[in-house]
Every structure is written in structure tokens, then in C-alpha cells.
A = this chain, B = another copy of it.
Amino acid sequence: MKYSRILAASLVTAALGTGAVAQSDEVKVIGVSIPAATHGWAGGMNFHAQATVERLEKVYPQLDFVLATASDPGKQVNDIEDMMATRNIDALVVLPFESDPLTPPVQAVADSGAWVTVVDRGLSVEGIEDLYVAGDNPGFGKVSGEYMASKMPEGGDIVVFRGIPTTIDNERVDAFTAAIEGSGINVLDMEHGNWNRDDSFNVMQDFLSKYDKIDAVWASDDDMAIGVLAAIEAAGRDDIQFVLGGAGMKEMILRTAEGDPMIPANVTYPPSMIATAIELTAVGLTSNAPVSGTFVIGSVLVTPENAKSFYYPDSPF
């Protein structure tokens, strides 16, 4: 555990046998560096980061937090260098804007002996971080596919929206395809909506003109689902029974909670994973529990029955 090195200085003179050494009374500082955003997934991530820092400052008087939000990778590099220089952070929780530019400053934090937690996007060099907290892309596709199969016991014709061409997208779609295999669900067409509302509106318009009957849509993302729903409404089509988005946008969670038959479910890929990362880092600094390793946050199914517990009215997402 790299954070153990933080403690080493104060323990040099401590005899072995004085108790669990991870419990020290000195105040430790956790830096949190994330991309700024006022809306969308990143907006939700900002909301949960802020809320978690406020909560943990109350829970753990022995912890101090520095939260910095950056509007571009250069600013994020500066934020992290500032945290090192002026706050002497004991741990850093970072969701990198981009992998390449953030790798050297985060490496420098690790080299200083501070604990490093990386969230969602990996760095360009393996093994820098002590803890990696990530979403579960294959799980996201699998849960989505299983839900659609269970919702369409007789099978049916669907169209599928893909994100920006990436490993993430491939993992999701491959797992979805495997999950609907043998279910009688027929994929009429599959196109990239690029996790974008306008692109998905256009793609859905094409699908609607191409196919007279579409039973359901795997939009695979709530932004894409909004574009899809707008295209369906503009076309006045009533053959589509439901649209499955994903990521847990609050407007969509609310529609599921209220029983909207067009949005009967959601699958999480929670921006609140930043909260888990901060909580675990705090646990690592205040207890004997080992928190190095990889935590893959599961994608879970949201239905009208449990939707309320995924709804954060004060979050922008």
C-alpha cells in the first residue's frame, strides 16, 4: 500500500507493538480532481463529489478535503500540481479529463508516496494507481439485454444505438448481443448515435423511415434515448412499445418511477462512482481495511419499484 509510505516518517521512531499503525490522529488531506460540468453525466459526477466531501468532512474530523474542478486537461494538470505543492496531499482521487496529459502529474503524486485513486478513465501507464474504481461496461450490456429479453418474451424487432466507437462501446454491445441470443429478439439495425441527442434524433428518423414496425429500441444511453423519443414523437409513430436508455439521468429515472410505459426501466452507469472512490480512499486513510485493487461498480437494473433510490433531485443529472 503506497499510502503506508505517507505514514512511514511519523512512525520511524514508533516501536512495533503500539497498535494498528494506520490509525493516526494527525489530519490527512485528500485531493479530489475532476472535470468541471454543469450538466450531463459529468454534472452528476460533480454533484456527488461535492456531496461526498461535505458528508465525509462531518464523518471524519481527521480528514481534510481539497476539491478542484477543471474545464480542460491543462487546468486539471495545474490543479494536481497545486495540490502537491501547497496542500501536501496524502491522497488524490482523480477522474482524468484525458489519459495522456494527466498521466505524468498523477505519476508524480504516486512517486511522492501519496495514495492514488483513479476513477472511470484509466491512465496511459499501468500500475500508477493504488485503487481503480470503474464502471462495468460488459455488465451494462448484459443487464440491458437480459431486461429486454424478459420484457419481450415473444421476441420482436428492435433497433440498437451505439455510442462513440470505443472499447467501452464494443464491450457494451457485445455483452448485449450475447444476452439477447436465443430470446427471439431480432436486431433490425444498429447505428452509432455517439452518446449524442442530435445524432440519435437523426439516426432514429432514418430508422423510422426505413422500418414500418419497430417493437422497441435499445438506446443504451439516456441522452440518446431523449433523441430517440423526440424522433418518435415527431413522426407520430405508435408501434414502438418502449425505449431502454441507460446511465440513470434523473429525468429518465423520474419517468420510470412514475410508471411511464415508454421508459419502463434504466440501467445504471452511475456518475456517483466518484462518491465510492472518495469514500474508499477515506476508509483507506482512517482504518485498517485494505482498499488497494480494482472496484468494478456493477450496472444495476432500475425499475418503477426501486427507481426512487436512484433519484437525486438536487443533482443536475
Contact = CB atoms under 8 A, between A and B. Distances in A.
A20 to B, nearest CB: 6
B52 A308 contact: no
Given A309-B7, A312-B20, A276 B257 contact: no
A21 B292 CA distance: 29
Contacts of A136: 293
A16 interface: yes
A4 interface: yes
B309 A4 contact: yes
B288 A48 contact: yes
Contact of A294 (B17, B55, B295): B295
A92 to B, nearest CB: 17
Given A14-B308, A19-B314, A308-B11, A290 B279 contact: no
Interface stretch (A81-89, A228-236, A297-305): A297-305
A280 B279 CA distance: 8
A23 to B, nearest CB: 9
B276 A16 contact: no
Contacts of A14: 308
Interface string A3-34: 01101100100101111111000000000000
A287 B310 contact: no
A130 B139 CA distance: 13
B268 A21 contact: no
Contacts of A159: none
A297 B293 contact: yes
A313 interface: yes
Given A4-B306, A17-B313, A294-B298, A276 B268 contact: no
Contacts of A188: none
A311 interface: yes
A299 to B, nearest CB: 8
Given A5-B305, A272-B289, A293-B136, A21 B280 contact: no
B16 A308 contact: yes
A287 B52 contact: yes
Contacts of A48: 288-289
A114 to B, nearest CB: 14
Give 10 closest A-B pairs by Cβ, nearest first.
A4-B309, A275-B289, A293-B298, A292-B298, A276-B289, A295-B295, A4-B306, A293-B297, A17-B313, A279-B283
Given A278-B289, A293-B298, 12 more contacts: A21-B311, A48-B288, A52-B289, A55-B287, A131-B298, A276-B283, A280-B280, A280-B283, A290-B298, A292-B300, A293-B295, A295-B295
